[in-house]
Amino acid sequence: MRRLTLLLSWLLLLSLVLAACGGGGQQGAGGDDAVARGKALYEKTVIGPNSAPGCITCHALEPDKVIVGPSHAHIATIAETAVPGMSAAEYLRESIVNPDAHITAGFPAGVMYQNYGKDLTEQEINDRVAFLLTLK
C-alpha cells in the first residue's frame, strides 16, 4: 500500500511539473483548470458520495484562524518543509488520503474525516492538491 501511495504521489508530482512546463491555461489534468476545480471543491461544504465535510467547513484560509483544524493559509509553503524528503505535493496528497499521517501540533488525531481517499476520485484529489499548492 505504501509503494502504491508513493507511486501515485510521484505520478502526481510529475503531472504537476509537466503541466507547469507546458505553460499557463493548459486544459485537462493540470494547469489552471485543475486549480480552479480544486478551489471549487475546497469551497464546497459537503463533498463526496458520503456527504463528508468539505475543506472550508473545518479549515480557514485566513492566517491563524482556527475553525476545527489548522488554517490553510500558506499551506503550500508549510508543506515544502513539513517532512524531510517529501515534496509539498506528496505531503498534501497524503494529508488528504491519510489524514492522521501528519498531525499539526496542537490538534488531535482522528478529528479529520478519514475516508477522503476512498470517497474522492483521483481527479478530485489531484485538483485539491493543485489548489492547495497555490496557497503560498
- Using pLDDT thresholds of 50, 70 and 90, give the confidence band for residue 30: low
Does residue 21 or residue 83 have the better pLDDT? 83
Q: Identify the pLDDT of residue 31.
A: 74
Over 90: is that where the pLDDT of 66 sits? yes
pLDDT at 63 over 50: yes
Rounded Cα distance between 44 and 127, Å, is: 13
- What's the mean pLDDT in 19-48? 73
Question: What is the residue extent of each domain of the chain?
Answer: 50-136
Q: How confident is the model at residue 112 (pLDDT cuts 50, 70, 90)?
A: very high
CATH number assigned to the domain covering 50-136? 1.10.760.10
